Amino acid sequence: MAGDFDLLASALHADARDVYAFFDVLVGKLAQVLPDQVEVQRGGLLGRSRPRAVAVTLGDRRYEAERERRSVACRRRTVVRGIALKSEELDLGAWIDALSADLVDEAARSERARTALQGLLEQ
């Protein structure tokens, strides 16, 4: 599983050079392979413009990223029964690494998550 983590983290980091393109690609990938676990907020009239924020729920962890002017603000929350017990701000690299690690852990427990992880690695 460590190899899967390294591959996923590398793939996501490779896309992170251009923040605007990265965010669009990341949101698209996550929404496609994890549709039931991803919430996307779009800006603009009627929410038809580029993604503004994304939240990924994996078990009791919720990963949130929001596009800001020239960066992406990232945080990870531990949520139990709808209550955030812990919230931490992460830089983009740490957010990608933590999300990747949790996706790999989830894939070890779930066929559906394993399929989603494979989808992220193939894109």
18-55 confidence digits (pLDDT tens):
777 778 888 888 888 888 899 999 987 776 788 999 99
Nearest to 54, CA basis, from 70, 75, 69, 80: 75
Specify the higher pLDDT residue, 116 or 27. 27
Q: Residue 116: what pLDDT?
A: 67
**Whole-number pLDDT of residue 76:** 97
